Amino acid sequence: MIATFATLLVFQSIGEGLAHALSLPIPGPVIGMLLLLVYLMLKRDAAAKLAPTSMELLRHLSLLFVPAGVGIMVHAQRVSAEWLPIAVALASSTVVSIAVTAAVVRRLQK
């Protein structure tokens, strides 16, 4: 379990470091996930080693929404003042995500 946590933390840290060092507009965790994807594609047996602990993390994923909820509560006044841009961004990103996911699934099914 510790090895899996260490692996995930290393990739996230590398992603954060690259994002900061290169002043990239992409968040560090996204870069870390892409690097992890490349690692898993290159080293096929790594996925089997990471799977059990990763599944346990996913079972408790809802706990990760607590900090986001607290952030919204802390900044409730700002959220209420800027609700329209936030709602438009959420709606449009949801539509784009659904469309891209549908396109990828359709392409992969062929």
Residue ranges of domains in the chain: 1-59, 64-110
At 4, is the pLDDT very low, low, confident or very high (cuts 50, 70, 90)?
A: confident
Residue 61 has pLDDT above 90, yes or no: no
What is this structure's pTM?
0.60
At 34, is the pLDDT very low, low, confident or very high (cuts 50, 70, 90)?
A: very high
Higher pLDDT, 92 or 64: 92
Neighbours of 36 (CB within 10 A): 19
Query: With contact defined as beta carbons under 8 Å apart, do 50 and 7 qualify?
Result: yes
Query: With contact defined as beta carbons under 8 Å apart, do 3 and 18 qualify?
Result: no
d(C-alpha 7, C-alpha 1), whole Å: 10
Residue 64 has pLDDT above 90, yes or no: no
